[in-house]
A and B are shown apart, each in its own frame.
Chain A
Amino acid sequence: DAGVIQSPRHEVTEMGQEVTLRCKPISGHDYLFWYRQTMMRGLELLIYFNNNVPIDDSGMPEDRFSAKMPNASFSTLKIQPSEPRDSAVYFCASSYWDVYNEQFFGPGTRLTVL
């Protein structure tokens, strides 16, 4: 299995621009998680899906952030408009059967907002 796939791996954009991050979970996994990692705040859970349905988005920092999962093999995290404080590494992870199971992380997208 190819593991969790994320794209792009690096994104540099200017403040105010829309940013879309993409994730393909491991086939057969029914849970998908989006995380943000910064030096200051560490690794934070933003939102998670079960069978393509958003379950808990309480970690999403504000309305500028949105996430969708139109099917079992694809999810997006969108930031509109982006701000410099959104600069971070964004990880996608997936797991199967039970939300409390181990999660498999993608390689991450390093986002820089100028």
Chain B
Amino acid sequence: EDKVVQSPLSLVVHEGDTVTLNCSYEVTNFRSLLWYKQEKKAPTFLFMLTSSGIEKKSGRLSSILDKKELFSILNITATQTGDSAVYLCAVSYSGGSNYKLTFGKGTLLTVNP
């Protein structure tokens, strides 16, 4: 069963639109939720969230975590064609004494000019 579920799987928007990407999870011993951006290469780090209700912001991107409802959202305002990528959500948790990390399948965002 998938522990990390992202939605939508894909999204097509026009430049200037605002988008919201969703990530829900179901793990025990939660430690953190991470967002990555993956273009045609390696994932690059965007945010790490550990506390509920505290928004993290970087330019036009922002993210927030809800540990009660077990989800996170990633918002992108005033989208640009350079935002086109797969956005990955990952959840870290403790499995026994070891660290575990599970990625969602990602949301493919396409921003058209």
Contacts and interface: CB of A to CB of B under 8 A. Distances in A.
B42 A100 contact: no
B42 A91 contact: yes
A74 interface: no
B43 interface: yes
A102 B103 contact: no
* Majority secondary structure, B binding face: strand
B42 A42 contact: no
A5 B21 CA distance: 31
A104 B45 contact: yes
Interface residues of A, number: 20
A15 B94 CA distance: 36
A106 B42 contact: yes
B13 to A, nearest CB: 23
A43 B99 contact: no
Interface string B91-113: 01001001111111110000000
A42 B100 CA distance: 16
Interface residues of B, number: 22
B42 A45 contact: no
A105 B99 contact: no
Nearest to B92: A100
Contact of A105 (B32, B44, B101, B102): B44
Nearest to A89: B42
Contacts of B48: 101-102
B88 interface: yes
Interface in B1-45: 31-32, 34, 41-45
B99 A42 contact: no
B42 A105 contact: yes
Counting chain B CB atoms within 10 Å of each CB, the highest count among A55, A102, A104 belongs to A102
17 contacts: A42-B103, A42-B104, A43-B88, A43-B90, A45-B103, A48-B99, A55-B99, A58-B95, A58-B98, A91-B42, A99-B92, A100-B32, A105-B42, A105-B43, A105-B44, A106-B42, A107-B41
Interface of A: 33, 42-45, 48, 55-56, 58, 91, 99-108
